Chains A and B, each alone.
Chain A
Amino acid sequence: MTHSVKGAALPRRTVLKQALAGAGLASAAGLGWWQPAEAAGSFDWKKYQGTSIEVSLTKNTRGDLLQKYQKEFEELTGIKVGAEQVPEQQHRQKVAIEFTSGAPSFDVVTASWHVQKRLYGKGKWFEDLRPFLADATLTAPDYDFADFAKGAVDYATQPDGRMDTLPLNLDYWIIYWNKELFQAKGLAFPKNFDELISAAQTLNDPKKGISGWVSRGMKNANVPVWTSFLLGHGVDPIDAAGKLQTDTPEAIAAAEIYKRLNREFAPPGVVGFNWNECQTSFVQGKAAMWLDGIGFALPLEDPTRSRIVGKVGYGVMPAGPKAQHSALFGDGIGIAATSKNKQAAWLYCQWATSKVMQSRNLLGGYGSPGRQSAFTTALTSPDLKAPKEWVEAMSGSIKIARPGLPEIFAVTEFRDTFGVALTNLIGGADPATELKKATEAFKPVLEKTEKA
């Protein structure tokens, strides 16, 4: 079983296997995942031994995870990996500029579906991965693609049917809440938007420096907060026919909620807050609720960073008047179409999205994998670093997940235009007026970029 594993990796892997076995997955999950070639037919991890590939990752905990275990991949395949992590915003720019120049410096690259999907889809920047998946000589027999949740696969697939990235990580928006503050006021976690607002109101205590609520106010970053409330009104920012729904009564109602929460119950200066300022307020115990992506469990439960360790509640986004949805975002990993080492690159993508790596993603509290098996594993695993409640909030969110940003070409301009409108709301502007203005400003951009 362990003959393909060397050195220090052994104990960790053994534990992991026990975890998998404990979950009753021993047979189904295929523990012979790293079996040598003869056992797996014509597939051979070592086939591209000696090749070097360049990997460009977004800087986040998933990037850390891939780099942390990179040695395992190199030992398994004999492929040499040069990997770098670049902060999200820079990474998006770099990727776009490098692809445009026609000779990107990387073979494997991660991409945010919610921002870049249409951009790279249209430019055919990534290789279509379906032929690789279908090729038994290139794909490990136990890769088990069917294990990926359908939602994740759909999100990864382009409108023309090409699947140019594999699901690496999904991000569900949840509400982090401070149990201590809630208990002090005798409150329970809100079940709907109205309860949420009144809870924020009750918990808000500016004299003590406690805010009932915190969420992103910074332009661009703040749009998912608003769309989270918009989805609860049963409306997507752009409907299936491609029409903007951003000045509908539902959109205005969602914006009213955004305005009320951030204007009345949020810390001073929230208009300039991105996730990090929100997190700082929250870990200081100065904010009772925080709506943001699911990836923050680690710092909240880290005693060297957080004053509220063990007091954090992880709540699924409450129901809106018409629906209950958790805003969904996601990252994929794919191969540059210009790469000269596509097969080796494919092995890396496969490894990065394998059962083992995806389980580690969840177990370590790094993020939320697209594979279903990872969840079954995690809840029973002694290795689970993050609180169980966090995993539960995640599985609760998966059932009600819905993309939080429209799948359009000009996502960044969308976020920018509506982000400015939302910022103005915190300053006291009227939601209907601001949204109308933003919608009118964005409409020509949408028409132009979508028809081209």
Chain B
Amino acid sequence: MAAINLNVNGKKQTVDVDPKTPMLWVLRDHLNLVGTKFGCGIAQCGACTILLDGSSTRACQLPVSSAEGKEITTIEGLSENGDHPVQKAWLEHDVPQCGYCQAGQIMSAVSLLKSNPSPSDADIDNAMNGNICRCGTYLRIKAAIKTAANSSI
């Protein structure tokens, strides 16, 4: 156990955990932020995607010690009222079915649009390929990303 200083969604806080604890479990079990989901634990499904200094990363493979001194953004930190352009696009296209993968999909999409504001279909496929949707909403996700890209960010 060690005291780890974190900056999550703009809030500075300290957790007392094993430094090897994946950020996923620090968020879910210790910080009560359950928007970031557990799907596989081996960075194969993308359900745990968060932003680390603005760039997408799989929280299940990020030891909490590596997050010290960095900015963590989770789905809860994207907006106050769900009005981030990507969230709004998701609602406009009525994307979710079961919804479990969508927080991870949204975070990957946010990261993509930060570095590539006008992605092609191939760009979207490549950036999003790490996020599995078992319900098959891939086409709606792509459409929502294009809508978000076209709106002013």
Chains A and B form a bound pair: no
